[in-house]
Structure 1
């Protein structure tokens, strides 16, 4: 791990990527507010059984065990435009690196628990996959990154949510069941069966908290299989607008580069 690991090294924005950052921020901020009062998946649902609570309690631990993983995040905007982030996340380091793409901008993005860094796609062959993004991120100098702290924008909430989806031990199933999660329905993704649950938002410190809406329903939904493997998470940011996080591949072998976290003017 680099000497910068665990530190908040995000510094003031440079000039190299202002256009890309502006386009990305505009899409993320437009027309999206706080989480809606209704939970995902509409009305209905029932309290989880003991076995279902055990399944949910394993989900974040399984995610931690299966890291690094490839993920896809989709953040809706007004109209039909969407910010799509394809990234590799290392839950042990609490870091992720990948690509972002909108209808008008594309680049490389990195984030940790302290903030976000973005660079534009000025290369002749812009990065479109997480693997390409890792190679490009490793090659860029510190002054090519535009860094900032998190804001309440939906994109920022989605990136932070991803980093909170793991824990180095299982959650307490009994306490989790008492916090009000609901079984919503069964669903199938890629030929595999998943239970869809609403529940309290995950917290980075490994505990669950019943942060439900005024209606008593969480704006979050989790797709979890019978072994406790988390496949998808959705978060309703406004009525009818939902952020989606998909875990595409697990146990990937690409190491995250240190470059996005190097202090300006220093080496490793």
Structure 2
């Protein structure tokens, strides 16, 4: 499988199966939001901002498989760090991103791909990202690939306001209302305003899913991948 640096040039051809809503299969349950639902969505925005940094699991379709990213996301700082895995041992490692772009950690001094051992937990991955020197992060700007779209979505999952209630779903023993935001977003929100899942439908029935796990990872997103505070996609100055 090709590296994350070629994903921007690849056509997305695999669907994330996820949870297709049985309640909206026919599309006949869609309706405008009630006043109570509109108030609940406002509460969701407040809760999502308040409860960060938050752990998330992201699934984005790739040619022949799916990229899975387990990350901690800080919406206030618009930064995130996590671990990506494509199913290929040679194509996994630490990942960092912000509003300007993304970066993969490559610890070898010669710049060659050096897959890291899968961490035992997200907290361990975040701690390791904080220890790495800024120079080992290989950076690039966002492109049109589904992975890039998914990472940007995590930084502002409720950027588009919901307009309609489109059904109900049941995940992990809890009931959720499902709301849609044009043109292609869906939000899973519980009765208390907790955001559980965001799904963005792509062309040809493909989709990106972002699951909020409810876990907090402390101390949050480390400064390591940014070091001096410059955007993550800004190239480092070559050593003299």
TMscore range, shorter length: 0.7 to 0.9
Q: Deviations over 1:53-86 (max 9, x none)?
A: 111222222111110111000001234x000000
Contact 2:92–2:115 (CA under 8 A) maintained in structure 1 = no
Equivalent position to 2:205, from 219, 228, 240:
240
For structure 1, the 5+ residue unaligned runs are 1-19, 34-39, 200-211, 213-217
Equivalent position to 1:150, from 128, 135, 142:
142
Q: Deviations over 1:83-102 (max 9, x none)?
A: 00000111221111000000
What is the RMSD computed on CA atoms of the aligned residues?
A: 2.8
Contact 1:94–1:113 (CA under 8 A) maintained in structure 2 = yes
2:69 alignment counterpart: 85
C-alpha deviation, 1:125, in angstroms? 3.1
Higher relative contact order (CA 8 A, sep 6+): 1
- 1:23 matches 2:8: no
Greater alpha carbon shift after TM alignment, 82-91 vs 243-252: 243-252
Is the alpha carbon distance of 1:193 and 1:124 closer, same or farther for their aligned partners in structure 2, counting shifts above 3 Å? closer
- 1:196 matches 2:178: yes
Following TM superposition, the consecutive aligned residue runs of length 4 or more in structure 1 with deviations greater than 6 angstroms are none
Separation in 2, partners of 1:92, 1:257 = 14
C-alpha deviation, 1:26, in angstroms? 4.0
Q: TM-score, normalised by structure 2?
A: 0.79
Is the alpha carbon distance of 1:124 and 1:250 closer, same or farther for their aligned partners in structure 2, counting shifts above 3 Å? closer
2:232 alignment counterpart: none
Q: TM-score, normalised by structure 1?
A: 0.71
For structure 2, the 5+ residue unaligned runs are 14-20, 107-112, 229-235
2:12 alignment counterpart: 32
